[in-house]
A and B are shown apart, each in its own frame.
Chain A
Amino acid sequence: MRPENYQAVSHPPSHEFELNIGPNHPGIEGNYALKLKLEGDIVVAAKADAGYLHRGFEKLMEGRLWMQNIALVPRICVPDPAHMEICYALGVEMLGGLEVPERAQWLRVMQLELSRITAHLFYFGGAAATMGMYSNMFWGVADRDLVLDLFEEFTGGRVYSMYNVPGGVRRDLPEGFIGRLVSLLDYLDSRLVDYDNLFFTNYVMVHRTRGTGAMNQQQALEWGVTGPNLRSTGLAFDVRRDDPYLVYDQLEFDIPVEQAGDALSRILVRRNELVQSIRILRQVAERLPSIGGPVRCPLPNPLAWNVPAGESYARVESSKGELAYFTVSNGGDKPWRVHIRGPSQMHGVQVLENLCIGARIEDVAQIIFTLDACPPEVDR
């Protein structure tokens, strides 16, 4: 634990002891630490220690041109970068009154759902690994790579797509892409059976995660929980449906809900979301060929681009929960202030600290991973 976060405890009772997990530990997600107070192998208190990845994104954005920031924002969340860039672009478009062409909106939905799939595959791998199920992790990473191949094909980059600019996307699809997308979706559908056999119906997994790190709906709402973690407590709230952006209002999809609010529910909600993402992508693949037109609205020279003064609040449903950009422009060529409301801040700090209380040491890693907090996004 870094000195500035350290609060000396004068004399802990002799039956309690402290355990540091992280910032470099296989049971922790990224550069991030947890300081546990234990009584036997039961956690009595937990303190989250973020900040190891603090790169000052929000401040950095104030020093960069509106266009330059598209290269910066995806780095805030490695597993799910698409939501970052699109949410930023949506905020700037609100300020500038930019009209995004319809084709670009569909392309964005495609990018978002593919990104959600990569994030969830990563998540399943990580969550399984905390229970020693490494095959599932290898599978998740390998299958994610197939999606990244598609990303490389249409955005030019495998992880950090940097595919969006305020006003649209940067390139149209390469030829034959939709066919390759559909065959990947077919493949993922076929793989789901394997994943179910290996992991989601796995006796060990089910019994290790049932009841672990449980919260009820009221707690979740008080703690600011959003996204799949909130839906695992029985509340079907999804920004895509309840405050639709892009063309989500033209798409058919269900919102998977579980009731228990424990680690198992969180895993299962995401598993079912993967199915819904595939369902959305099939609709996109069907509709996209019939939508023509440009993929970007005309933009001024990025070196001389003033965005009108004002404030905007753009929110999207990222793979981890509700993500929002509060952007303030003073009419200049750079943002005056950007505040990012990331889901991981709540899940990774206050929720995690609360859920750990009463858990056993070996369950802490599961709680961390099933909450799916992204440390760089906590720090941003």
Chain B
Amino acid sequence: MADIDYKSRGSILNPLRNLSFLTRKPVTLPLEPREASANYRGFHLNDWEKCIGCSTCQKICDNEAITMIHIPDLPEDPVRGVRARRPAIDYGRCCWCGLCVDICPTASLSLSREYVHTCEEHELDSYFILPDPHGMHRKFYGEGWHKTADEDLIDLKRQEMPEQPAGQRLQSFGEFVQGYDMQQAIVEASRCVQCGMCHDSCPAHMNAPEYIRAIWEQDLEEAVRQIYRTNPFAHVCGRVCTRRCEAACSIGVRGEPVAIRWLKRYAMDTVGHERIREIAGEGRGDYLSGGRVAVIGAGPAGLTAAFDLAKHGHSVTVYEAQPAAGGMMRYGIPSYRLPYERIDDDVDVIRAMGVDIQFNTRIGRDISMAQLQADYDAVLLAIGLWNGRSTRVPGSDHQQVRSAVELLREITLDESLPVPKSAVVIGGGNTAMDIARSMARLQLVQHGQANITVTALEDGAHLLADPVEIRETAEEGIAVLPGRGPRRCMVDEHGRLVGLETVRVVSLLDEQGRFAPQYDDDDVQMHVADMVIEAIGQQADTSLLGEELIEALEWERGRLKTDAEGRSSAGWLWAAGDVVTGPDVIHAVADGHRVAASIEACLGRERYANG
């Protein structure tokens, strides 16, 4: 373009140029409704089916425009990580930045292609809206700004945990999961959106958001402090927890959940043991209550209760039949998953609180229940499930048909057990995987090669074991055959066990959802083995109570009947742990806290009554 000649007054004919406007459209636009662009940031849409009420949108909102509203009709399920809450938007505050959409862990939020909202005088509160998938005015204008895979503000991939390769880890019972380093732990902790789903789903309601945040802030002592507020078995739960937290994690809806268990392990492994002991002891009462409590069984439930009670100044004695503490954690979980030293560390912290543990003392043999009742104000039964259940198929009474829990105990006690050249395991749970993998390691040492098969009733998608364990089992070359039911243990004419015969499972549950397996009798398989190992469940050995007490107590389907706080029908006896809740460390810890609170309340009442 030529430079402007602003000195020119122009020509008298210049106005004629404007005639061209007669043929042109007006510059100002006619006021007709126009469609918003495909990317427009209009009003919020929220897919209630996808939304889990995690409140991450509320956290990123820089105008505090979002309020989480409780909707009574919606499902509330902490275990699945679902809250009956949905975001409501105050359009007096919203600035339509769309960060809520970009961060939404479930991708349920988006913005519509709608321009206008106005209201009548009588509906001034119509600027506070609970978005749903239908649009703000019951008219759907289409989805505008929405999340796409590469525009996510959430990191869906977790930090990979360094592990020994399968071939190497089979060589020993040493721990093969190596733990995060500082960088990995900080990055992993930074993925957390602090929604607290993990806290709600954890049986012990651990302060996971708080300790994850502390790890991200590199304040590991604070992390340990938060961990010890609810769980004295932090080393153990940092390794073998069933991780209800991770199942509920909101990042896990579309990606891999935050590795909460490994973060706990990182904090516990990094802070020195002496310091952990000091932190755990913070808040311990500097008085003696005079209350005396006996705990039977030094497992997670018993020791958690002992830890809590000792913290409150009660004198606690734990009676343990085995030579070391830990219960099923030590005698049921192989050391490649949970090294014994880590249990020792946890137990040492508990003992430092003043808990006295009497080892090699079996109640019923060394001390009677009547004696305990006489000597203590309260007795807690936390004996776990130590007896394996049997399939009772023909031949299962053979001496080479063994129970998995028994074998695992023998391995821990380092008893020289005869290792079969080949074995077949019945069961699809964690115990089945544990014994199979332990046996494989022993076989490698003794026979130079592992030969072990796992048969499970459930199909591959419904195996009861942790998916990680199933993966690791497969990596270690152990065949897992799902959908096979045991028919009989085969014994040859010399009385030697030769293997297990299984049939294919057609269905496992009947129409009412009860356990009633149906088999296809034509599909029979023979698994040759020198040993059959049953890992189909455990039960408690309650013989220690003595016949008189067993008669006196109330029972429910073979389990000791307790009230909601764990107290049995005999007022002085409480029960906790696997014996009440079934096998799981974190449930046992939660149970230990619950029962300790009940005992504490009861002892407090007695103290008060006695002046």
Contact = CB atoms under 8 A, between A and B. Distances in A.
Contact of A203 (B1, B9, B60): B9
B4 A196 contact: yes
Interface residues of A, number: 46
Nearest to B15: A197
A200 B3 CA distance: 11
B98 A156 contact: yes
B153 A301 contact: yes
Given A72-B62, A171-B151, A304 B216 contact: yes
Interface string B167-197: 0000000000000000000010111111000
A134 to B, nearest CB: 12
Given A71-B99, A139-B27, A302 B60 contact: yes
A201 B97 CA distance: 41
A65 interface: yes
Contacts of A138: 27-28
B71 interface: no
A268 B193 contact: no
A371 interface: no
Contacts of A339: none
B8 A201 contact: yes
Interface in A139-172: 139, 142-143, 145, 149, 152-157, 160, 162, 170-171
B6 A70 contact: no
A201 B5 contact: yes
Contacts of A253: none
A5 interface: no
Interface in A48-70: 64-65, 67-70
A153 B144 CA distance: 10
Contacts of A155: 39
B193 A301 contact: yes
B39 A174 contact: yes
Interface string A197-208: 100110100100
Contact of A64 (B6, B9, B62, B111): B62
Contacts of B490: none
A299 interface: yes
B416 to A, nearest CB: 52
B269 interface: no
Contacts of A206: 6-7
A69 B5 CA distance: 46
A365 B189 CA distance: 57
B444 to A, nearest CB: 42
B17 A197 contact: yes
B610 interface: no
A200 B153 contact: no
B96 interface: yes
Contacts of A171: 39, 151
Contacts of A156: 37, 39-41, 98, 111, 144-145
B400 to A, nearest CB: 54
B155 interface: yes
A9 interface: no
Interface in B73-121: 95-99, 102-103, 111
A126 B538 CA distance: 84
A300 interface: yes
A81 to B, nearest CB: 12
B39 A162 contact: no
Interface string B1-35: 10011111110001001000000000111000000
B191 to A, nearest CB: 6
B241 interface: no
Contacts of A133: none
B508 interface: no
A67 B99 contact: yes
B153 to A, nearest CB: 5
B338 to A, nearest CB: 30
A302 B103 contact: yes
B150 A275 contact: no
B561 interface: no
Contact of A71 (B29, B97, B153, B193): B97
A301 B191 contact: yes
B6 A142 contact: no
A300 B152 CA distance: 11
A264 interface: yes
B4 A302 contact: no
Contact of B62 (A68, A145, A196, A294): A68
Contact of B39 (A65, A142, A143, A154): A154
A13 B150 CA distance: 70
Nearest to B153: A302
Contacts of B111: 156
Contacts of A69: 62
B337 interface: no
Report which residue of A138, A152, A203, A304 has the largest number of chain B beta carbons within 10 angstroms of its beta carbon: A304
A67 B103 CA distance: 11
B1 A201 contact: no
Contact of B14 (A75, A197, A302): A197
B38 interface: yes
A305 interface: yes
Contacts of A142: 27-29
A58 to B, nearest CB: 15
Interface string A270-313: 01000100000000000000000010100111111100000000
B36 interface: yes
A192 interface: yes
Given A157-B96, A203-B10, 18 more contacts: A64-B62, A70-B97, A152-B39, A153-B38, A156-B39, A156-B144, A157-B41, A162-B98, A170-B98, A197-B17, A201-B10, A203-B9, A264-B6, A300-B155, A301-B155, A301-B190, A302-B103, A304-B191
- The 10 A-B pairs at the shortest CB distance, nearest first, are namely A68-B62, A71-B97, A304-B190, A153-B37, A156-B41, A206-B6, A156-B39, A162-B97, A142-B27, A156-B145
Interface of B: 1, 4-10, 14, 17, 27-29, 36-41, 56, 59-60, 62-63, 95-99, 102-103, 111, 144-145, 150-151, 153-155, 187, 189-194, 213, 216
29 contacts: A64-B62, A67-B99, A68-B99, A71-B63, A143-B27, A145-B29, A149-B37, A152-B36, A152-B40, A155-B39, A156-B98, A156-B145, A160-B96, A174-B38, A192-B1, A200-B6, A201-B5, A268-B6, A296-B151, A299-B153, A300-B155, A300-B187, A301-B155, A301-B192, A301-B193, A302-B60, A303-B60, A303-B194, A304-B189
